[in-house]
Amino acid sequence: MENIAVVFGGRSVEHEVSVITGMQIMENMDKTKYNPIPLYITKDGKFLSGESLKDFSNFKNSDFSQAVEVFFKGYNGDNNLYTVASKKSGLFGKESEGLEVYSKIDIVFPALHGTYGEDGCFQGLLELISLPYVGCSVMPAAVGMDKVIMKKVFQSENIPMTDYFYFYREDWEDRERIINKAEELGYNLFVKPANLGSSVGINKAKNRESFIEAVEVAIRYDRKVLVEKAVENPREINAAVLGYENEVIVSACEEPIGWKDLLKYEDKYVSGAKGSKGMKNQKKNLPADISDELRLKIEEYAKLAFRAIDAMGDARIDFLLDGDNIYVNEINTLPGSLAFYLWEESGISFKELITKLIELSKIRYNQKSENITSYDSDLFKNTSYGAKL
Per-residue pLDDT of 58-68, as tens digits, reads 999 999 999 99
Is 371 flagged in the annotation as binding? no
Amino acid letter for position 365: Y
For residue 295, the enclosing domain spans 234-366
Q: Is the pLDDT of residue 262 over 70?
A: no
For residue 272, the domain's CATH number is 3.30.470.20
Judge whether 7 and 39 are in contact, CB under 8 Å.
yes
Residue ending a domain, choose from 174, 198, 229: 229
Tell whether 214 and 264 lie within a shared domain: no
Please say if 293 is a catalytic residue: no
**Shortest CA distance to 141 belongs to which of 125, 159, 123, 163?**
123
Q: 10 Å Cβ neighbour count for 302?
A: 26
Residue 90 has pLDDT above 60, yes or no: no
Q: In terms of domains, do 202 and 250 share one? A: no
CB 20, CB 275: distance < 8 Å: yes
Task: Please check whether residues 312 and 341 belong to one and the same domain.
Answer: yes
In a domain, 192, yes or no: yes
223 and 242 assigned to the same domain: no
Mean pLDDT of 23-47: 97
Instruction: Return d(Cα 337, Cα 316) in angstroms, integer.
Output: 6
70 in Cβ contact with 49 (< 8 Å) = yes
Sequence-distant (6+) residues with CB within 8 A of 140 are 120, 309, 310, 311, 312, 333
Q: Model confidence at 269, in pLDDT bands (50, 70, 90)?
A: very low
pLDDT of residue 71: 95
167 annotated as ligand-binding: no
Tell me whether residue 148 is in a domain.
no
Query: Which band of pLDDT confidence, cut at 50, 70 and 90, is reported for residue 272?
Result: very low
**Active-site residue (options: 198, 251, 254, 255):** 198
Range of weakest confidence among 27-36, 168-177, 187-196, 380-389: 380-389
CA distance 287 to 19: 28
Nearest to 242 by CA among 321, 149, 155, 134: 134
HSE-CB for 302 with a 13 A CA cutoff: 28
Instruction: Write down the catalytic residue from 14, 118, 254, 255.
Output: 14
Q: What is the pLDDT of residue 385?
A: 66
pLDDT value at residue 278: 45
**191 annotated to a ligand binding site:** yes
pLDDT at 387 over 80: no
Q: Is the same domain home to 218 and 112? A: no
3-class DSSP state of 263: coil
User: Average model confidence (pLDDT) for the chain?
Assistant: 89
Q: Judge whether 150 lies within some domain.
A: no
Q: Residue 170 annotated as binding?
A: no
Averaged pLDDT, 382-389: 64
Is 297 one of the annotated binding-site residues? no
Within 13 Å and on the Cβ side, how many CA atoms surround 303?
13
Phi, psi (rounded to 5 degrees) for 10: 95, 170
User: Does residue 149 belong to any structural domain of this protein?
Assistant: no
In a domain, 383, yes or no: no
**Is pLDDT of 6 > 90?**
yes
Q: Is 264 annotated as a binding residue?
A: no
Q: Is 337 a catalytic residue?
A: yes
pLDDT at 275: 35
Would the annotation count 376 as a binding residue?
Answer: no
217 plus 240 within the same structural domain:
no
Are 271 and 296 in contact by the 8 Å Cβ rule? The answer is no
Span 197-223, average pLDDT: 91
Q: Quick one: 238 and 362 in the same domain?
A: yes
183 is a catalytic site residue = no
* Whether 104 and 188 share a structural domain: no
Indicate which residue of 12, 49, 337, 361 is catalytic: 337
| 90 shares its domain with 126 | yes
